[in-house]
Amino acid sequence: MRKPLDPERTQATLNEIAQRMAGEVNRGEVADYIPELADVSLNQFGIAVAPLEGPPLVAGNGDVPFSIQSISKVFGLVIALEHVGATLWRRVGREPSGDPFNSIVQLEFERGKPRNPFINPGAIVVSDIVLEHQPDGSDTHPVLDLCRRLADAPEIPVDEDVFASEVATGDRNRALGYFMLAEGNIKGDVRAVTESYFRQCSIAMSCRQLAKATRFLAAGGEGQDAKIAAVTSERVRRINALMMTCGCYDASGEVAFRIGLPCKSGVGGGVVAIVPGIGSIVAWSPGLDEKGNSVLALRAIEELAHGLDWSVF
Ligand code: GLN
């Protein structure tokens, strides 16, 4: 049985981890295929835990905003499911891909149906649905709006420099979009759909804000956060299952083995982990491993989960 969260012990563990990570030499490499991300200082580490009740516990650079990147795919999925329900799964699969997040080969073999919503082509289909249902005249991106409401932080921005950088270097994502258009799996304009996708990836949030915004996934579809995200307990279970099996791209199996919690990473260096019934964890450090997952964020979550005996297994 899992023990309930003890705020003092958790805070002390977070402080110890943040101190240890500050002294780490092997920090990975920043993502440089998006030029704007290459300028982020490697020397940062932040962590936060949002318990189901009470304020988040934060350590290190846990209040520094970073680019949430692929973590936005979780919020996009929540919104798309709200619009189209289970019919989404006619257009996107639910299997781990075993390939890099921006790979194009599998998509050709599988006739334009992406393996899952957390690799880029899957998230681009999800963006197509989100954009199609965006009310006319609304100028806030639905994912930004959801993040702001869940984190109770209306100041959360899209980083326009990161966005411009992604648009300028986004040919591979546009290629995925055009390929799926040719296969009939994108309905909108590929430029508009990929820009909507880049915009959600460019949202900047701190560990504290992101932990608050993902806490509904630990609450089993109960409580105020679940009402904001309009998410049922069944949907929460399924999103967690997808995070566990597909959330860290082609390292998802390894991350499940090491950490034992549903996780979602992004190339900005953030990782979200869900401890069902207890709370959400977000760790951030910009240095990535060769699969695009933050080296120190994964290590920190692993240490925290083991230290406090948090696992779904
Ligand atoms: N915006 C990034 C991309 O499309 C997101 C990738 C990621 O975080 N894995 O390449």
Q: Which of 36, 70, 246 to mutate to test the pocket of ligand 1 (most atoms within 8 A of CB)?
A: 70
Q: b vs e for 84-99, b when ≥16 Cβ sit within 10 Å of the residue's Cβ?
A: beeebeebbbeebbee
pLDDT digits (tens, 9 = 90+) for 102-142: 889 999 999 999 999 999 999 999 999 999 999 888 889 99
3-state helix, strand, coil in the chain (%, to 5): 50, 10, 40
- The reported pLDDT for the residue numbered 245 is 97
Report which of 291, 292, 293, 281 is spatially closest to residue 17, judged by C-alpha positions. 281
**Strand, coil or helix: what is 160?**
helix
- The reported pLDDT for the residue numbered 126 is 98
CATH of the structural domain 7-68+205-307, one choice from 3.40.50.300, 3.40.710.10, 2.60.40.3500, 3.40.50.720 = 3.40.710.10
- The reported pLDDT for the residue numbered 4 is 76
Would the CB of 102 count as within 6 Å of ligand 1? yes
Q: How many CA atoms lie within 13 A of 234 on its CB side?
A: 4
Low-confidence ranges of the chain (pLDDT < 70): 1-3
Would the CB of 74 count as within 6 Å of ligand 1? no
- The reported pLDDT for the residue numbered 2 is 58
Name the residue at shortest CA distance from atom 10 of ligand 1: 102
Q: b vs e for 120-130, b when ≥16 Cβ sit within 10 Å of the residue's Cβ?
A: bbbbbbbbbbb
Q: What is the third-level CATH fold of 71-201?
A: Beta-lactamase (3.40.710)
For 10, the token pair is 């958790």
Would the CB of 65 count as within 6 Å of ligand 1? no
Task: Sort strands 66-67 and 204-205 into parallel, antiparallel or unpaired.
Answer: antiparallel
Q: What is the pTM of this model?
A: 0.97
303 close to 16: Cβ distance less than 8 angstroms: no
- The reported pLDDT for the residue numbered 112 is 97
CA 13 – ligand 1 centroid, Å: 31
- The reported pLDDT for the residue numbered 1 is 45
Domain with CATH 3.40.710.10 in the chain: 7-68+205-307, 71-201
CA–CA dist 296, 271 (Å, integer): 10
